[in-house]
Chain A
Amino acid sequence: MASQSNDPRQPSAARPYKPSIVAPQDLPIDYSGFIAVVFGVFGAMFRYKLCSWLAIIFCAQSLANMRNFENDLKQISMAMMFGIMGLVTNYMGLGPRSSPKS
């Protein structure tokens, strides 16, 4: 099915692979990172433990799906900061606590 008797290959025509450059704006949106930031802010501001933990979980998902190392890491690190801050404020009890013992 491929071809007739002659070899279809043409070594002279071989061109090396050039990865297509995608502009940072055109990259697919990192939804899980965005959700992680939202939950992190909620958890830190309103002192909901569950929100902070969900932020950490979505951060983990975003990390797992990370493709481009440099671009995505900024958003993920921001989301992680929010999540950890939320957890710290919930468990270390800085300021007035909304829930009794953790």
Chain B
Amino acid sequence: MAKRSSSSSLLISPLSLFLPRGDTLLYLIALLSIFSLLVHRLSASPTTAQSHFEGFDADEDEDLFVDDSHDAVLPPLRSTPPPISLSEPTPESHHGPPDSDSDPSIESPSSDPDPNPSTRSASTVFDYWDEDEFEGVPQHLTPEIPVVTEKATGSESDLISPKSEVSEVAVPRKLTSYSVEIVCVSFLIMFTINYFTGKKENENLALAWASKFATRDSIFDKNFSLLGVGETEDSPLLLKEGQNVFKFYASGRRFCSGVLATMELKSRHDLISRLYSMVVPCKDEITFEVYMNDDAMDQVVFALARKKLAKTMQKEAGDLQRFAGLVAPPSGRKWVAEELQVVSESKEVAGDLITDAVLDQVFGDKAFEKFGKGFISMHFSDKHMGLNKKMLVFKFALPDANNIADMTRLVALVPYYIDLIGRYKLSSQARSKTETARLKVAQEIQKEYQNARHDTLQKKKSEQRKKMEEAEAKLSAEALRKKEAKERARQMKKGMPKIKMTRAH
């Protein structure tokens, strides 16, 4: 006791000069206790120990007896650094045992032989523990207190310590138990970043193409008077339909009413598609659709593609299916490279469309190796499925932005073929063949259409009849008779000659 008081006096004596005495001190202590309680509640981790004490804190606040509130303050004050200690020698001597007991516990938690602080803390937890009962409790209890307070962040007595251990173990467990959230949120973040980078990449690629082929003095500018998707001269060149679909329109040329180029790029903006395309390879494609004028295109059905694709096209495309067949390379003349397959109505037409110029530039054996990598397919037809019947469709693969000039020769095919098809006239033989074939197909289509109409009409009639029968069955006998009378009257009227009447004025 003497030791404690001396140590306390050494530490606190400078403060004693400044601090007030008496009741004001008690009020200050009460205020400080409430404040520290609040701080403690806010800073402590959300363990169940917290909820354990909430009820008691309310009780403590209601309690007018200052000592208890003071006691409740002790453990939190102990966990915070001691310099804030308020108790001093003179008020100690003034007040009873509680203060003297509390004082050393604030200063030096390690050197506290007095069992009372433990009982004090215990008393805050369990009201029925009498303060006086534990005066002679052995010293082994006291070291537990500082150990417990050092361990736990929010616990205040021995009983709470096991729970504090649980909270301590639970903290590392929380991180691993959040794995789903961490993975998903990081994926979403990566997705967002990839969206913006992919979008920009696609835009750059489209702009690179447009700057090479659609700006001033480019091939499209030389061939078409109106470029772009707007109505005026200064309209924007490209129309962005999605993050990976861009459209370019050009119009104002002989033989055709316009060209629509659709760029379908890889979905670089979508992370999931990007991952999928790593497994299933995908290409950037550009499709040119040339809308030919009615008088400019003769009866031509022709397609050119790589072998596998050509077979698929011939089976799937309606007009190719009906009119055209695979054409074997003729002997005695230059033909397209081995990898390519021609699908046409007649050999003659195919031969006329595959000119020497084209073979030298793009489709011949040598040229195709160099320049034909980006070629996918070509399909000319005057009986296309869909709204526009007379169309030339070109499909090329887009190289990357740096090598966009590689497809110059492929793009040059477009105006070349517009002119070629525009000027091409079938020979009489070929025409007779094609005419008969088309007549047949037209008749078949007509028949099918008529059959379909007939079927629908019959269905309607039968439905109406069913309705009438049902209605009749519901009606009573009288109503039936009335109906029959009406019907007879109507029939009579129909049979009689019509007498016309007009008004005088």
Q: How large is the interface on A (under 10, 10 to 19, 20 to 34, 35 or more residues)?
A: 20 to 34
A1–B177 Cα distance when bound, in Å, is 68
A32 to chain B: closest residue by CB: B272
Judge if B279 is at the interface, Cβ distance under 8 Å: no
Question: Which residues of A (23-66) have their CB < 8 Å from a CB of B?
Answer: 32, 49-50, 53-54, 56-57, 60-61, 64-66
A20–B229 alpha-carbon span in the complex (Å): 12
CA gap between A53 and B178 in the complex, in Å: 13
Residues of A within 8 A of B226 (CB): 11, 14-16
Q: Are B191 and A60 in contact (CB under 8 A)?
A: yes
Task: State whether B270 touches A14 (Cβ < 8 A).
Answer: no
Minimal Cβ-Cβ distance residue in B for A17? B249
Establish whether residues B223 and A9, one from each chain, have CB atoms under 8 Å apart when the complex forms. yes
8 A Cβ contacts from B182-237 to A: 184, 187-188, 191-192, 195, 219, 222-226, 228-231
Q: Is B300 an interface residue (CB 8 A)?
A: no
Interface residue B252 (Cβ < 8 Å from any Cβ of A)? yes
Q: Is B13 an interface residue (CB 8 A)?
A: no
B133 at the interface (CB under 8 A from A): no
Please determine whether B251 and A17 come into contact, CB atoms closer than 8 angstroms.
Answer: yes
Would A2 and B230 be within 8 Å (CB), given that A15-B258, A57-B188 are in contact? no
Does B245 make an interface contact (CB < 8 A)? yes
Contact across chains for B272 and A61 when beta carbons are under 8 A apart: yes
- Known contacts A50-B180, A60-B191, A65-B242, A13 near B254 by CB under 8 Å: yes
Question: How far apart are the CA atoms of A49 and B229 in the complex, in Å?
Answer: 47
Distance in Å from the Cβ of B198 to the closest Cβ of chain A? 9
A10 within 8 A of B: yes
Give every chain B residue within 8 A of A16 (Cβ-Cβ): 226, 230-231, 251
Interface residues on B, range: 35 or more
Is there an interface contact between A53 and B191, defined as CB atoms closer than 8 Å?
no
Q: How far is the CA of A56 from the CA of B184 in the complex (A)?
A: 9
Give the complex CA separation of A56 and B419 in angstroms.
52
Closest chain B residue to A6 by CB distance?
B254
Chain A residue, CB-CB nearest to B388: A20
Q: Does A74 contact B (CB under 8 A)?
A: no
A65–B229 Cα gap in the complex (Å)?
22
- A86 to B224 CA separation, bound complex (whole angstroms): 55
Given known A-B contacts A16-B231, A65-B243, A1 and B416 have beta carbons under 8 A apart = yes
| B165 CB, min distance to chain A CBs, angstroms | 17
Complex alpha-carbon distance, A1 and B371, angstroms: 16
Contacts of A19 in B (CB 8 A): 239
Alpha-carbon distance between A65 and B202 when the two chains are bound, in angstroms:
13
Q: Which residues from A are CB-within-8-Å of B357? A: 1
**Given known A-B contacts A2-B415, A57-B184, A64-B269, A14 and B225 have beta carbons under 8 A apart:** yes
Contact flag A57-B224 (CB < 8 Å), given A3-B419, A16-B251 = no
Residues of B within 8 A of A (CB): 174, 177-178, 180-181, 184, 187-188, 191-192, 195, 219, 222-226, 228-231, 239, 241-243, 245, 249, 251-254, 257-258, 260, 267, 269-273, 357, 361, 387, 412, 415-416, 419
Q: Supply 23 A–B pairs (Cβ within 8 Å), ascending by A.
A: A2-B222, A2-B223, A2-B412, A8-B223, A9-B223, A9-B253, A10-B225, A10-B252, A11-B252, A13-B257, A14-B224, A16-B230, A16-B251, A17-B229, A19-B239, A20-B387, A53-B180, A54-B184, A57-B184, A57-B272, A65-B243, A65-B273, A102-B178
